Homo-oligomer: A and B are copies of this chain.
Amino acid sequence: MLTRIDHVGIACHDLEEKIAFYESTFGLIVASREVNEEQGVKEAMLHVADGPAGSSYVQLLEPLHPDTPVGKFLAKRGEGVHHVGYGVDDVTAALEAIGAKGVRLLDERPRHGSMGASIAFLHPKDVGGVLTELVQARRLEH
C-alpha cells in the first residue's frame, strides 16, 4: 500500500533559517514553498531523492500562529520531527482500508497538501505515537 517515504515533516521556529541550514549542510534544494492557511503553516519542500513511485522530501514547517497544530507542537515538544508522510497510489482507497483496520482517521476524506497532492492524516495514538500522513502525489499531465 505504501509506495515510498514521501517526506519527513519537521517543525521549526524559523523557516528561512532552517532552509538555509539544510541547503548549506546537506546540499538539499527547495522544490516548493507554500503557505497553507488551512493547516496554519508556511512550509518548504526540500528535494532529497527521486524514485519509481515519486520523490522524497524534507518538509520544513513554521506555524503561522502559536494557536495552530504545529505551533502547539513547538510549544510542547520543541523543534523536531512533526509527522511522517508516506506515498500511496490512491489515498481514498488507502483511507478506507486503514480505517477498516480500526485506525482513527483525522481526515475522513482527502484534502489539499503540498505541491498539489491529496493527503490525509491518521491519528497518532493509533499509529504508535507517529502522526502519519498519506500522500497521493498530483498526477502530472503529459
Binding site for B on A (CB under 8 A): 1-5, 7-8, 10-12, 18, 21, 24-28, 48-53, 56, 77-81, 84, 86-87, 98, 101, 103, 124, 127-130
Q: Judge whether A2 and B26 touch: CB under 8 Å.
A: yes
Q: Which 10 A-B pairs have the closest CB atoms?
A: A80-B129, A79-B129, A51-B51, A4-B49, A81-B81, A1-B27, A5-B5, A5-B56, A79-B128, A25-B101
Q: Is the CB of A21 within 8 A of B80?
A: no
Which residues from B are CB-within-8-Å of A79?
128-130
Q: Could you tell me the distance between the alpha carbons of A26 and B124 in the complex, rounded to whole angstroms?
A: 14
Q: Nearest Cβ distance between residue A131 and chain B, in whole angstroms?
A: 8
User: Dominant SS at the A interface?
Assistant: mixed
